Structure 1
Amino acid sequence: MARRPRPLPDALGDAFSVEQARVAGVSSGRLRGSDLLRPFRGTRMRPICVDDDTSDDDVSPMMREANALQAEIGRRAQALATVAPPAWVFTHATAAVLWGLPMPLHLLRLVLDGEPRAAIPPRGLDIATLDARRAPRGSGMCGHQLKSTMVSVRSRHGLRVADPAGVWAQLAPLLTIDELIAIGDAIVHIPRRRGMKRGTSRDALGTPAELAAALVAGRREGIGKLREALPRIRVGSASPGETRIRLAVVRAGLPEPDLDVDVVAADGTPIGYTELAYPRWRLLVEYEGDHHRVSRAQWNRDIEKHAACAAEGLTVIRLTSAHAYPSTGPAVRRIRDALQRAGWHP
C-alpha cells in the first residue's frame, strides 16, 4: 500500500513557492511529491479534492465547468504571485476572473485548456509589465507590455491587478460586442445592500465615466468594438442573462425596459425589486438564475413577492436561461405578447 504524503503546514495555504515551503520546514523530497501540482517554475499547489456526492445536480454542466475554471485560474494566480517580481500586474482575462466578472466559457477554456481541435495551445495567465522593455515570459503565462498611462493598478485578494475599467478595454480583442456589453454592465452594476437598500456608485467595480476614460487612454486593439459597446452599457443589469434579454428586446423593436426597479404597493409598502420593468404597462420581467432554484430562502421570497405583485394588479413574467439561451426568441415573444395585452402597440 502506497504511503500517504506527509501533511504540509497549514500556513502555506493552497498555493506557495518552493522557497516559502523550505522556510516552513518542508523537505526537498516532499516538494517532489507526485500529489503536488507545479503550475509555474518554483511554485507548488495542493491538489483539489472533489466529492462527486456533494455536487449540485441543479447546476448546469456548463456552469459547473465555468466555476471550476474560474477557481483554478484564481489558484494559479495566487501561485504565480509567490514568485513574480513585485512590479508584475495581472491583466486581461486573468484580471477579469479575479474581479469576479462574468467571463464567457469559451475564454475561460482558452486560458487553461486552449482549443485542442484547432491545435491552439492554452493562453495561460495574463501578466504584464508596465513601461518595461520586455513582457514576462514563462510556461503557463501570456505576457504583455503595457504603458502605465493605460493601466491603473489595484489590489485584489492581495494581488496586483489592473482596474476593472482597464480590463474591460483589454478584453476587446477577445470578446464580441455583446460580451463586452455584459462585462461593462457587470462593472457598473450597483449591488443592493442588506434590506434591499440601494447602494451608491462606490459599491460598483467602476463607473460609465471610467469605462469611457479607459477607451481613450491610449491606442486600443479592438477600439471599434469598444466604441460600439460603450453606449449600450447600462447601470442596473445584474447578470449576463439580463443584459442578453435587454439587448434582444430593443433589437426586436420593443421598448427598452427600466432596470433594477423598486416595486411598491399602493399604500407605500415595499414589495421588492425586479430586474426589468415596464412601469407604464405595469409589467415586471424577472430573470431567475440558478440561485432562485437552489436557495430555499430565495424561493420562498419569490413566492411572497409574486403574490404581492398580483394583488397590486401587476403582471409578472418569469424567465429562465431556457428563454434566453441559445436563442432569445422565447423571451422576446413572451415580453412582446405581455406588452400588447397591456396596451402597447408597435
Structure 2
Amino acid sequence: MRPIPAQLSGRPFTLAEAEQLGLTRRMLSGDRFVRVRRGVYRCSDTPPTLRLQVQAALLVLPPGTAASHTTALALGGLTIGRHDELHFSGQGRPEHDIEGVVLHRRRVRLNTVLVDGVPALGPLRTFVDAATVLSMRDLLAVGDWLVFHEHVDVLDLRSYAIASHLDGVRKARRVAPIVRERVASVYESYVRWDLHAAGLPEPEVNVDILDDHGTWLARGDLVYRQWRILVEYDGWQHERDAQQRQRDHLRREALEAAGWRVIVITVEDMRRPGTVVSRVRQAIRQAA
C-alpha cells in the first residue's frame, strides 16, 4: 500500500494537490481518506475541527477570502448563533455554490488578521458584521466577550460602531453603548440584556461586595448595590464537589447575614428569561 505523503497530514488538501503527489481518485475513496467537501479531502486520522472545515472552504473560495461573522468568532473561541453555516467575506465570486458556506461579497479589499492560524476579519469589523446574523441579545454577548478577552477596547468598539457605515451598524450602535468590561460569561450577558430590555436598572458587573464594616464578602456577578441584591448565574450547581458546595453555602450565608438577597440563575432558568426578570423586579420592589 502506497504511504500517505507526510505533507498531507493534519490539514485539508485538494484533489489536484493529491494527484501531484501520486495519489489517485481511487486511493482517495479508500478508508484512509475522508472527503471534506467537493474536491477537498483530509486524512482519516486528521480530526474534523472547525479550523479544518474553515481551511477546507478557503481552498475552494476565491483568493483573499477570510473568515467573518460568527465563523471568525468561533475560531477565536466564542460559538454563538447558527452552527450549520460557515461565513466568509471577500471580493471574488466562487465558481459554484458551496454547500454550508455563505460568502459575503465586498467591494473593497479587507484587512485581515490570523485567528488560530486562519485569515479572518478583525474583531471590530466582526462585531458589526455579526449584527447582521444575530439578535441584539446575542450581539451583546459578542461585545462583552470581545472586551473581556481583550480583543477590543470598549471605547474603541463604541467609536467604531458610530463611525461605520456597514450593514448591521444600526443594531451595533444600539448594543455597543451597553457593552461592559468584566463580563465573564455569555449567560451573564444574556441576563443583562433581559434586564435591560425589560427596562430594569442596570446592575454593576463583577464587583466586590463589602459589609458595613468594609470586610470583603464576595465578588458578585450582577450587583444592585442600592438594594443589596446580587444576581448570579450558576451553571455548575450539580457538578461541584462537596467542599466547593460548602464554600458556596457559607458565602451565601454571609451575604444574607449582611442583608443581601441572592438570586441564583440556573441553566433551566435561562430557558424562561421572563421569569428571571420577574424575580429581579420583585426583589427590587421589595427592597425599595
CA offsets 1:152-182 (integer angstroms, 9 cap, x no match): 4211111111112211111222222222222
Alignment match, 2:140: 181
- Pick one of 88, 91, 103 that aligns with 1:127: 88
CA offsets 1:254-311 (integer angstroms, 9 cap, x no match): 321111112346676655422101122222111112x453354865653453344345
- Pick one of 114, 134, 153 that aligns with 1:155: 114
Structure 1 position 294 matched with structure 2 position 239 = yes
Structure 1 pair 339/217, CA: closer, same or farther in 2 (3 Å)? closer
Alignment match, 2:181: 235
Percent identity reads 27
Structure 1 position 168 matched with structure 2 position 145 = no
Cα distance in structure 2, aligned partners of 1:298 and 1:136: 54
Q: Which has the larger displacement, 13-22 or 278-287?
A: 13-22
Cα distance in structure 1, aligned partners of 2:67 and 2:199: 41
Question: In 1, are the aligned partners of 2:161 and 2:172 still within 8 Å (CA)?
Answer: yes
Cα distance in structure 1, aligned partners of 2:30 and 2:216: 59
**Equivalent residue pairs, number:** 284
Question: In 1, are the aligned partners of 2:76 and 2:115 still within 8 Å (CA)?
Answer: yes
Structure 1 position 223 matched with structure 2 position 198 = no
Cα distance in structure 2, aligned partners of 1:72 and 1:241: 25
Alignment match, 2:36: 39
Cα distance in structure 2, aligned partners of 1:48 and 1:317: 47
Question: In 2, are the aligned partners of 1:81 and 1:159 still within 8 Å (CA)?
Answer: no
Cα distance in structure 2, aligned partners of 1:153 and 1:30: 37
Q: Which has the larger displacement, 302-311 or 276-285?
A: 302-311
Q: Which has the larger displacement, 241-250 or 254-263?
A: 241-250
Deviation at 1:236, TM superposition (A): 3.2
> What does 1:20-35 align with in structure 2 at a 5 Å threshold?
29-34=26-31
Alignment match, 1:205: 151
Structure with more strand by fraction: 2
TM, length-normalised to structure 2: 0.78
Alignment match, 1:340: 285
TM, length-normalised to structure 1: 0.67
Q: CA RMSD in A?
A: 3.7
Structure 1 position 98 matched with structure 2 position 98 = no
Residue aligned with 1:182, SS = helix
In structure 2, the gaps of 5 or more residues are none
- Pick one of 78, 83, 105 that aligns with 1:108: 83
Structure 1 pair 329/84, CA: closer, same or farther in 2 (3 Å)? closer
